[in-house]
Structure 1
């Protein structure tokens, strides 16, 4: 591997973070550039530090690993996120990959498997731990296509996402922050949504889309 790989470790247990830091720090090609005790702290670290990979626990306070991964996908799409968790249920795995993750390992993974996972995701591949590979078939690694846009006014995937956020009570500025786009971009999407759905206000939009995509 040519360049140094910059890694952030996120886990709500300090000893776990320290263990992974010691493991990775013993190799010249890897550098732990930040630690975080929850998803919100990961995002704070990323505002100040460049990273290539985030090793992410799923069950953390304040902001869990799945929500943090979704935010990273929107704000830092070049960063690869790998789960390091004790969770092995298929629902967690599917939600994590749907949020934009690149790899999934349990905390029982060996050092060699962790390093292999990092190399695989940096090469553009997805990685599923051998320990949980029998939980899912390979087809489940690709998030199911959401065809709600075809069922409702030809909305794009991003427009469907914005409809859901508006219906959940998010303001325009909050949506812009969550999706890492400008307020003008959100307003443009909103105008397009109104036009495609042939509605004039938010109440009509929610009413028309409620049974199909919300």
Structure 2
């Protein structure tokens, strides 16, 4: 029975990714507003009702890559080794992302990644929808921070404020990296400043939260 559940889940994930990949390819080719949901369903070889079971809104088709990272910060805090503070764990994780040229850090010179970011930041409805994803990231992180006792004695509101600051810092760092690469610098040129900026940002967070 568990094997059947695992197979169904894998097929569901494959369908989810196939639909989104087809949608993003069309968005990059024609522009977000010029592609219909019916066109996406046809390209992915699924019905419109099936498409909407996986993606409630057209914007979600373009943002599944961010959905995959929604609870990432919370998971990093929850899984941190003993003796490592939440902020240290998050700082190290961000630096690891820079080292891997993870697109979520903005430090990627791959044309496909740059084109995707142009699509995202050039489409107001996608930017607006992205805030909803970031809101869920903040909620998950706030729970993890609260469980970790950060900020000390601040309660639920304090944890939410801390989570909002951390998610905002990560977003600003990533946007700055992307904008410099989009302007013509290479990932290698940007990387030293990206590492330094992350250090400064997390130092400021530590001084305020710890």
- Which has the larger strand fraction? 1
Q: Which has the higher contact order (CA 8 A, sep 6+)?
A: 2
* Fold conserved between structures, TM > 0.5: no
Normalized per residue, the structure richer in helix is 2
Q: TM-score range by the shorter chain?
A: under 0.3
TM-score (norm 2): 0.25
